[in-house]
Structure 1
Amino acid sequence: MTNPFLSSEEYDERAHALYDEGQYDEALALLREGLALYPSAVELHVGAGYARLARDEFMWARRSFEEALTLDPEHEDALAGLGEVLLKFGQVEAGLRAYERTIELGYEDDVDLMLQIGRALFREGYVEQSLAYFERAVQHADDSAEAVACIGYAQHRLGNDVEAMVALRRALTVDPQFAEARVYLANLLYDAGDLDAALLEFEKTSPEDHWDELGIWRLIELKKSVYKLKDNDGELKPWEARLVELAGETDAIDELLAEVEQAAMEADEAAHATEQGQLETLGSLLTGLVGQQQGGEHSSDSESVAEQAGAPANTHDGSSTDVLMADSDTHRVIMRDGTVFEGSWEEIVQALRDARDAGRPLDEYMAIEARRFYGATGMRVASHAPEAFIRGSADAGMLRIVR
């Protein structure tokens, strides 16, 4: 419905409120209504750009930001929005130039803008560049726990865990209630093997502070170990309830995708087994032909070829076929440290679990490792089935499948 008495500023304010509530469709509709009345309102074009960006409509977002910059070439929010869109299109140099332009225009002291640019770079994988903008934010607001913590996140992603922990501790000194930084610090301490310090930090958090299962599993594990708690101890109940809440229920689409993925894996495995069998048959045939030429063991070429081609299937009453089928069910993986595991997919995962965390249920182990791999590589690894877990781990570079 048209609001003829609203000014462009009022359209912008109302749309901004909707955007902050995550109502991107409603915000965009209001902005388009405003632009129909005020086509030269820069802020409405910028707002439309960010609403489009939130809806993953990158081409339209780019158009909105460019229209805003046509009206005001020095608009800092339009430059930041355009930079993010350009990164998504792979136009990295142009995106970085748009960001650098905000510095040239004197917006380095705009802490929120520096954090926005830093986060966009961080999300797209340009971590070193993001760190520079986080550091600018801290230079102008050293009392911003959020800005200081962002330095910690970037340092961790760059592999500088000591610097990361220093930054996170500093952020918690500024704001002891900053739960996100505390959970992050606790996980870093755990990964570093400082379990006492990790437990100390974890115990300063509440179940609602956690948005990832990994930290909760680690807290439960440490509590059981240090305080000798039983599995059904009441102290663990709130944490277990939070785990259930985070896991949620698998909806129909998730189940369908899992079934499709499993069917594709089974088809791929069957094709691989067939191909392997054909190669071994061909190898036997060629070996027979070479033997014929060297020893003259057979009286005619046709008899030799037929006899050798049939050998693999008929020798020992079909045992070669059994061997091929057995091989197709046996797999071998090599870990990054050179350790080799062999067996069925489930047996390999069980062996991995026993080597790292014996006694933990297999599904729990896969979920925890998948979270750890995501933290290390940024790649999501499926944990609903052993085969999907192993293949996902290989895709993430954590191991290599050789058979």
Structure 2
Amino acid sequence: MGTSFLSSEEYDELAHKYYDTGDYDQALDVLRDGIAQYPDSVLLQVGLGYTRIAREEYAWARQCFERALELDSEYEDAWVGLGETLLKFGRVEDALSCFAQIDEMGLGDDLELGLTVGRALYREGLFTDARARFAALSTSHADSAELAAARGYTLHALGDDLGARRELRRALKLDAELHEARIYLSHLLHDRGDLRGALTELEQVPPAEHWDTLSIWRYIELKTQLDGVTEDDGWFAPWRDTLAELDDEPDDVDHLLAEVEASFEGVVDEQAAAALELSAQMDFMMKVLGPNAPVPVAEPEAAAHRIRTAEGSVFEGSWDDIVGGMRDACGEPALSLGTFMRRAARQIHERTGRDVPSHSAEAFLKASARMGLLRIER
């Protein structure tokens, strides 16, 4: 459709429609066209910045937000977006200063802005700061299910499982269709050993509302274990259909190739930004793997495979042996391999937004390697 006669607001609305459906490429094209027509539009610059964030193009996103603030130094969404991108580069104090601008403008109790800030802090592992931001919002937004859920996720990250379950249950009382919170609560109940409670929560989530393979596999596992349904039962057909759809989504290699292609569209060198993003992912994976723990290594003659972590730790053996070594290095030798992989997959998803399969050791390790979290040497 022609867009030459659209206003800047109409360009923004059109881009939002594409953005909300996940079509970030089309949203990007619309915003570029809009900025060509309205180069001084703060609204379009901010929209372009958030689209760049969605495409994980943080260096370009930062430029967009800085340009927006040159045009209007009191545009609150630009301060939030700039803070979010600065977090990606490890500039925590600068990011917090950006977020503080929101409070200085008297917008500290704005729910949408506060949730955006808190979630950005959470994604970067700044859980104490995220908790403080969410707590500040709770007084004036006690009826917000999304806020209660966000507090629940953060409390769990801080080790307060009881508080996390309480907040997630409160969120579900406020909005019974907040499926992400229900799935998360199910995982917490499962980790606590309440398998029936975990299944009860998953049974209330429609198959199409599952956003990762972990929760679907867990539902199938619990349903067969507790209710005696066989894995090939037709009952699971809707869940397996969703599982197939999720498995068909582009993997990290596809995303990487798309980013390489996109890099030819601009003149900004993002090599440093990409290195920082990869470093952040590696650092997180090492937290999961416990890099300071002793690393068990199989005898050379028994080693079929070998992987090396970002910190240089080496694990050898079969795929199962390697995952078992990682689990032991975490100080959790009592965990089954399946439980360890599911926990790690969930944590990686929370940190990066990317999914790692947990149904087999080989798939788990190869997906982690594609994300740059480790290297498979043989």
Q: TM > 0.5 between the two?
A: yes
Larger Rg: 1
Structure 2 alignment gaps of length 5 or more = 255-297, 304-314, 328-332, 369-378
What letter corresponds to residue 318 of structure 2 in structure 1?
W
Question: Are residue 329 (structure 1) and residue 286 (structure 2) matched?
Answer: no
- Distance of 1:123 and 1:161 partners within structure 2: 18
- How much identity, in percent, do the aligned residues show? 47
Q: How far off is 1:42 after superposition?
A: 1.9
Q: How far off is 1:389 after superposition?
A: 6.0
Q: Is the 8 A contact 2:65 2:81 kept in 1?
A: yes
The TM-score, its normalising length taken from structure 1, stands at 0.64
Q: Is the 8 A contact 1:77 1:113 kept in 2?
A: yes
**Residue in structure 1 matched with residue 341 of structure 2 by the alignment:** 370
Which one has the bigger helix percentage? Answer: 1
**Residue in structure 1 matched with residue 209 of structure 2 by the alignment:** 209
Cα pair distance change 1:30/1:93, threshold 3 Å: same
Matches within 5 A, 1:340-355: 344-345=317-318, 348=321
**Residue in structure 1 matched with residue 106 of structure 2 by the alignment:** 106
**Residue in structure 2 matched with residue 90 of structure 1 by the alignment:** 90
Matched positions, count:
308
What letter corresponds to residue 221 of structure 1 in structure 2?
E
Q: Is the 8 A contact 1:345 1:390 kept in 2?
A: no
The TM-score, its normalising length taken from structure 2, stands at 0.68
- Distance of 2:122 and 2:156 partners within structure 1: 12
- Distance of 1:199 and 1:228 partners within structure 2: 13
What letter corresponds to residue 345 of structure 2 in structure 1?
Y
Matches within 5 A, 1:231-242: 231-242=231-242
CA deviations 1:216-268 (Å, max 9, x no partner) are 333333323333333443434433444344334898968xxxxxxxxxxxxxx
* Higher relative contact order (Cα pairs below 8 Å, separated by 6+ residues): 2
What letter corresponds to residue 22 of structure 2 in structure 1?
G
CA deviations 1:49-72 (Å, max 9, x no partner) are 223333333333222212221222
Q: Is the 8 A contact 1:329 1:344 kept in 2?
A: no
**Residue in structure 2 matched with residue 166 of structure 1 by the alignment:** 166
Q: How far off is 1:187 after superposition?
A: 1.2
What letter corresponds to residue 186 of structure 1 in structure 2?
S
Matches within 5 A, 1:14-25: 14-25=14-25
Classify the secondary structure of the residue corresponding to 1:46: helix
**Residue in structure 2 matched with residue 81 of structure 1 by the alignment:** 81
Matches within 5 A, 1:143-162: 143-162=143-162
Matches within 5 A, 1:3-402: 3=3, 5-248=5-248, 327-330=299-302, 344-345=317-318, 348=321, 369-376=340-347
Q: How far off is 1:328 after superposition?
A: 1.7
Q: Is the 8 A contact 1:18 1:26 kept in 2?
A: yes
- Distance of 1:350 and 1:57 partners within structure 2: 32
What letter corresponds to residue 52 of structure 2 in structure 1?
R
CA deviations 1:105-151 (Å, max 9, x no partner) are 11123211111111112222222212222233333322221111011
- Distance of 2:52 and 2:76 partners within structure 1: 18
CA deviations 1:179-214 (Å, max 9, x no partner) are 111111111011001222222222222222322233
Cα pair distance change 1:350/1:179, threshold 3 Å: closer
Stretch deviating more after TM superposition (239-248 or 87-96): 239-248
Structure 1 alignment gaps of length 5 or more = 255-325, 332-341, 358-364, 394-403
Superposition RMSD on alpha carbons, in Å? 3.9
